[in-house]
Every structure is written in C-alpha cells, then in structure tokens.
C-alpha cells in the first residue's frame, strides 16, 4: 500500500474521531501488508 495513502487515511480518521476507529485502522494495516 502506498505510504502517502496510509498517511491520508490516518489523518482522515483522526479528523473524524469516529467510534471503532481503531478497528478500521487495524483493518487497513492488515490489508496494506
């Protein structure tokens, strides 16, 4: 996965501060590896 895309996703999730954010980030990291 492109590192810049990962950074954008992390920034967007931080701005949203939505419930279950940790689970979503874990899913992105799992699919990104």
Question: Per-residue pLDDT for 33 more than 60?
Answer: no
- Mean pLDDT, rounded, for 23-29: 79
C-beta of residue 25 within 8 angstroms of C-beta of residue 13: yes
The residue extents of the domains of the chain are: 1-32
CA distances from 4 to 13, 16, 19, 28 (A): 14, 18, 24, 13
pLDDT band for 5, please (50, 70, 90 cuts): confident
Q: pLDDT at residue 19 above 60?
A: yes
Q: How far apart are CA 26 and CA 33, in angstroms?
A: 11
pLDDT confidence tier of residue 28, bands split at 50, 70 and 90 = confident
Instruction: For residue 30, give every residue at least 6 positions away whose Cβ sits within 8 Å of its Cβ, in sequence order, or none.
Output: none
Q: What proportion of the chain, given as a percentage, has pLDDT over 90?
A: 3
Nearest alpha-carbon partner for 21 in 9, 33, 7, 8: 9
């Amino acid at each position: 996965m492109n590192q810049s895309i990962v950074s954008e996703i992390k920034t967007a999730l931080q701005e949203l501060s939505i419930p279950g954010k940790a689970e979503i980030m874990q899913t992105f990291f799992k699919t990104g590896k």
